[in-house]
């Protein structure tokens, strides 16, 4: 059986009891980065055999792991943070298990995108997950233009060294939208900063960010409702401007 195990996105104590049991009792752990995951296992007093499964060896390792699974071994698949297959390796192995008729069990855990959305205060009833913003400026501008036209909230990942460039592009593509920069989630310096792109740009230019970042973009529908509320607050009941 393959067990897809959700792991903490920052705070190592966020590993749930079911996930801990799965890691402690499996025959083998397949991890995105063994050096990173060994720290998690040691924190919880777990010692299991561990192999790497990352973008550079995924095809070869998947074939090896399928062989192990066919032989009755139980494998726990983990990524560096969150659930495997969400902007991380793992989906190839899961798909191979389905093709081979090998049982797959998912043990859910923390999610950076859902945590950021919950902390943003934006509409979470419908949202679009865009993955990592493109590194190339033209593609990044196109992605932000698509977010500007989208009715629902957009959630995307960004790296700290590219955040300022992303906010520069956002200031052009959606200057009147609210954005939330969610940073260092579940860690000591966790931050949710909500403002328009220009304000965020000024802040992070003066204070270069560190740590993993999730960018949440207010949807077109919510922005329109917010503008209507602001307009209503500036007018009296008869529709005339407040003095």
Sequential pLDDT tens for the chain (243 residues): 999 999 999 999 999 999 999 999 999 999 999 999 999 999 999 999 999 999 999 999 999 999 999 999 999 999 999 999 998 999 999 999 999 999 999 999 999 999 999 999 999 999 999 999 999 999 999 999 999 999 999 999 999 999 999 999 999 999 999 999 999 999 999 999 999 999 999 999 999 999 999 999 999 999 999 989 888 876 655 555 565
CB neighbourhood size of 28 (10 A): 17
How many Å apart are CA 60 and CA 54, to the nearest integer? Answer: 10
Going from N- to C-terminal start, the domains of the chain cover: 2-107, 112-228
Superfamily designation of domain 112-228: Tetrapyrrole methylase, C-terminal domain (3.30.950.10)
How many Å apart are CA 172 and CA 190, to the nearest integer? Answer: 27
Burial of 116 (0-12, 13-18, 19+ CB in 10 A): buried
Q: What is the architecture, at CATH level 2, of domain 2-107?
A: 3-Layer(aba) Sandwich (3.40)
Q: Are 27 and 127 in contact (CB under 8 A)?
A: no
Q: What is the pTM for the complete model shown?
A: 0.90
């Amino acid at each position: 059986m393959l067990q897809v195990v959700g792991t903490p996105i920052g705070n190592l104590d966020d590993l749930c009891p079911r996930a801990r049991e799965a890691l402690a009792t499996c025959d083998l752990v397949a991890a995105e980065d063994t050096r990173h995951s060994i720290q998690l296992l040691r924190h919880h007093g777990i010692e299991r055999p561990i192999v790497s499964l990352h973008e550079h060896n995924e095809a070869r390792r998947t074939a090896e792991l399928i062989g192990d699974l066919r032989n009755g071994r139980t494998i726990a698949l983990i990524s560096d943070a969150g659930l495997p297959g969400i902007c991380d390796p793992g989906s190839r192995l899961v798909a191979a298990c389905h093709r081979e008729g090998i049982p797959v069990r998912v043990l859910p855990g923390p999610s950076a995108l859902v945590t950021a959305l919950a902390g943003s205060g934006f509409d979470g009833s419908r949202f679009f997950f865009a993955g990592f913003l493109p590194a190339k400026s033209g593609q990044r501008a196109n992605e932000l233009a698509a977010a500007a036209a989208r009715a629902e909230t957009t959630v995307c990942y960004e790296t700290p060294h590219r955040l300022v460039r992303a906010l520069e592009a956002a200031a052009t593509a959606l200057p009147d939208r609210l954005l939330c920069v969610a940073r260092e989630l579940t860690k000591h310096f966790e931050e949710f900063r909500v403002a328009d792109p220009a304000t965020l740009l000024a802040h992070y230019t003066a204070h270069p960010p560190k740590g993993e970042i999730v960018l949440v973009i207010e949807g077109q529908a919510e922005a329109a409702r917010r503008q209507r509320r602001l307009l209503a607050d500036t007018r009296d009941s008869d529709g005339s401007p407040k003095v």
